[in-house]
Amino acid sequence: MGRGFLLVVSGPSGVGKNRLIEELRRRLPDVRYSVSATTRRPRPGEVHGVDYYFLSDEEFTRWIEEHRFLEWAEYCGRRYGTPLPFIQEALARGETVALDVETKGAQNIRARVPEAVLVFVIPPSLAELHHRLRGRGTDPEDIIRERLKGALEELQKMKDYDYVILNDSLETAASALEAIVRAERCRVERSDYHTWLETIRGEAEELEANASSRGDDSRVHHRSAAHRGVTGKGGQPLHAGGGGGQTSSPAGEPGSAPGQPGREEAGEHCAGGDRERSHQV
């Protein structure tokens, strides 16, 4: 198994980060999700320990003192943090861990974990973001305006990220996020290349040893055949001729007319002609 890594997903509130991560995990079930802690109140339908760890201010402060956060930051008057133990255990198992973290938290993670992969999600427009925030029906208008103001500030931090995804379609955006995860898993530094390389080297040595063994057997077979004597057509023995290793043909061999020189004689005649021509030159 290769090395695990953190996939940090950021973007303005209401841009659809959670739905994007959910769709990613549906496509890649082995991606783990790190549940953040927060001091804000649960929204309707949110479950403690599933969507967030909903902590009081006192509990959150105690977690900080106990060094239980990878990072924490304040956002829109509430504190958010990434629990550390789950991250450590998942990375030790070589897993990919997705986190939904705002920009301040992402900067803190990059400082502590430089190899983390940072992805920024942007909306099609500010008007669409406003529409999505109002559509949630969970925040009053003053909070929505505060979140829109914060969105403009967050968009300025996009340049500090590794990737940016336009979330104008969940299907398209999820495909882009999936492609990022698959590509990052193929990085050499995260792969088991050293194990593969050792395996390939072992195979190469085995192939070379087998080839050498087959070569020795071939030479032994050749010597044995020469010692026994090899017969040609009609069971007549073949003998080395004097014309540079040429062999003589028996009389009456097909293709050899009476009165024509045999192969050995013809070979000597041609060789002599070549020498004469070379001498003339």
* Strand segments (E) across 21-95: 32-33, 36-38, 52-54, 69-75, 78-83
What separation in angstroms does the CA of 251 have from each of 17, 42, 140, 256?
Answer: 94, 108, 114, 8
Count other Cβ atoms within 10 Å, centred on residue 267: 19
pLDDT value of residue 134: 87
Of the candidates 46, 1, 7, the one whose C-alpha atom is nearest the C-alpha of residue 162 is 7
What CA–CA distance (Å, rounded) separates 252 from 38?
Answer: 105
Give me the pLDDT at residue 257, please: 44
Q: Which residues contact 32 (CB under 8 A, 6 or more apart)?
A: 90, 95, 96, 97, 98
| C-alpha 81 chain-centroid distance | 30
Contacts of residue 50, Cβ cutoff 8 Å, sequence gap at least 6: 35
Q: Which two tokens stand for residue 196?
A: 């593969």
Length of the chain: 281
Question: Residue for token digits 């549906």?
Answer: 26
Check: pTM over 0.75? Answer yes or no: no
Backbone region of residue 76 per phi and psi (left: phi > 0; alpha: psi in -120 to 50; beta: other values) = left
Question: Among 20, 12, 72, 2, which Cα is nearest to 180's?
Answer: 20
| Torsion region of 93: left, alpha or beta (phi above 0 gives left; psi -120 to 50 gives alpha) | alpha
CA distance 65 to 129: 36
Nearest to 147 by CA among 40, 19, 52, 22: 40
Residue 123: what pLDDT? 94
Note the CATH architecture for domain 5-188.
3-Layer(aba) Sandwich (3.40)
Per-residue confidence in pLDDT tens, the chain, 281 aa: 468 999 999 999 899 999 999 999 999 999 999 999 999 999 888 999 999 999 999 999 999 999 999 999 888 789 999 999 999 999 999 999 999 998 989 999 999 999 999 999 999 999 999 999 888 877 788 888 888 888 988 999 999 999 999 999 999 999 999 999 999 999 998 877 778 788 888 888 888 888 888 765 555 455 554 555 545 555 555 444 444 444 444 444 444 444 444 444 444 444 444 433 333 43
Helices marked H in 28-96: 57-65, 84-92
